[in-house]
Chain A
């Protein structure tokens, strides 16, 4: 099948892959670029496990045509930690026991990062709204909301 070249920035790295036209971004990231951190939960845009940031805005990568990201910046959970240090969101999810099976976690972190990037001091309702497109079957959501608020507070030098 004919393939076309596609270049984008993935977590600060220039990335080039060849894609079958019509491929979705999730497949291209996972099998083309080898970033396995976005997960496929439904392939229908309903679970949020595949959430990535495109130019800082959260997108469902399973519903995104790969060709549309040409030249754009993509962030995934694979690039969330700055080197060996965890991002405050990761730290808060870890310490807050806000993940069980972990399958939704990477998408949840991307939705949360997009929120904190644009709203450093979100209210509880804003956190809830930000992750309302991300399903979790294990936790009942409360520990996740708490963890995001904790991370926000720490990033702002507050105690949650």
Chain B
């Protein structure tokens, strides 16, 4: 009886946004009288950071400090239509809508500032710190707050913008499957190191080394949250989770967290991540949604590592100790493969 080390690899790509398009997102942006900006959406933040990333996108596009932007979502009376938070569409679709709404609001803001400074709007730029200045002449400037006050109370102008982003709907061909599924893809590759106990069938994942290509890390910490948490879920899917342990029979399905298994804080796997950024042309600042794809490569990499450790092909998820022990029995014991 022994512990066998194994190493496995997998790589994937992932489509960003709803397949075949037809999933619009809208955004509305307006300024308060003192130059703070409200972004109204109907997007959902389920932990992935929708409110935060759209806030940063609005801040960047408007050219104002992020503290001066607040995202309000989702109230169907005030937030314009959005399809929802699924299919890795939030960053791509809603982010683009926010860019468009913020771009329009910025244009109004620069025109209002131009009137106050008596210059052309096209000669103005923002410093991202709450000031609007003449390009090349930072001293000729006005604050965003003063601009908003002037626009509202002197010029009778709104600093507001609307945005919609849509990939028009298309269809798949019945005969060949030809289609335009999405417009960009994220990528990932990872290496799993694990140990298999051939007496208990227990698998312990020891380390993950990964590379994720996300277009652009719009907020590196939010990306890291997704990648760490997503890989955890991938390990969980690979080794523990199912609602039907005797699938397709429905017997003995877990009914609570005592019987639905997931790794706990005592099973944290060190995960060394490299983030690659190859911006996608139609994505907001090039950023692709990392939230879904992060779990996918973990499942096959775990299976491949188990084969490397003990010579059992685990083709049915989840890979429970029972399946490993049955495989070992069928094989007459562990058959460690080439050390990688």
CB distance from A90 to the nearest CB of B (A): 17
Q: Are B265 and A138 interface neighbours, CB within 8 A?
A: no
Q: Are B228 and A139 interface neighbours, CB within 8 A?
A: yes
**Mask for B252-278, Cβ within 8 A of A = 1, else 0?**
000011100010111010010000000
Q: How far does the alpha carbon of A143 sit from the alpha carbon of B265 in the complex, in Å?
A: 10
- Would you call B224 an interface residue if the criterion is a C-beta within 8 Å of the partner chain's C-beta atoms? yes
B residues less than 8 Å from A8 (CB atoms):
none
Q: How far does the alpha carbon of A103 sit from the alpha carbon of B231 in the complex, in Å?
A: 20
User: Which chain A residue lies CB-closest to B45?
Assistant: A101
- Would you call A63 an interface residue if the criterion is a C-beta within 8 Å of the partner chain's C-beta atoms? no
Known: A141-B232, A141-B264, A141-B265. A44 touches B257 (CB 8 A): yes
**5 nearest A-B residue pairs (beta carbon):** A101-B47, A140-B232, A100-B47, A46-B257, A141-B265
- Would you call A18 an interface residue if the criterion is a C-beta within 8 Å of the partner chain's C-beta atoms? no
User: Which chain B residue lies CB-closest to A139?
Assistant: B229
Interface residues on A, range: 20 to 34
- Not counting A127-B265, A140-B231, A145-B265, a sample of 19 additional A-B residue pairs whose C-beta atoms are within 8 angstroms of each other reads A97-B222, A97-B224, A97-B225, A101-B46, A101-B47, A102-B47, A129-B266, A131-B265, A132-B265, A135-B257, A138-B225, A139-B225, A140-B228, A140-B232, A140-B233, A140-B271, A141-B265, A142-B268, A142-B271
Among A44, A97, A129, A140, which residue has its beta carbon within 8 angstroms of that of B256? A44
CB pairs A–B below 8 angstroms (9 shown): A46-B257, A100-B49, A128-B266, A135-B257, A138-B225, A138-B229, A139-B229, A140-B231, A145-B268
Known: A97-B221, A132-B265. A47 touches B257 (CB 8 A): yes
CB distance from B59 to the nearest CB of A (A): 18
A residues less than 8 Å from B225 (CB atoms):
97, 100, 138-139, 143
**Mask for B316-327, Cβ within 8 A of A = 1, else 0?**
000000000000
Q: How far does the alpha carbon of A44 sit from the alpha carbon of B256 in the complex, in Å?
A: 8
- Would you call A144 an interface residue if the criterion is a C-beta within 8 Å of the partner chain's C-beta atoms? yes
- Would you call B158 an interface residue if the criterion is a C-beta within 8 Å of the partner chain's C-beta atoms? no
CB distance from B265 to the nearest CB of A (A): 4
User: Which chain A residue lies CB-closest to B270?
Assistant: A142
CB distance from B147 to the nearest CB of A (A): 31
Q: How far does the alpha carbon of A143 sit from the alpha carbon of B271 in the complex, in Å?
A: 12
**Mask for A15-54, Cβ within 8 A of B = 1, else 0?**
0000000000000000000000000001010110000000
- Would you call B48 an interface residue if the criterion is a C-beta within 8 Å of the partner chain's C-beta atoms? yes
Q: Tell me the chain B residues, 41-83 only, with Cβ under 8 Å from chain A.
A: 46-49
B residues less than 8 Å from A103 (CB atoms):
47
Among B48, B222, B229, B258, which residue has its beta carbon within 8 angstroms of that of A140? B229
Q: Tell me the chain A residues, 102-146 only, with Cβ under 8 Å from chain B.
A: 102-103, 127-129, 131-132, 135, 137-145
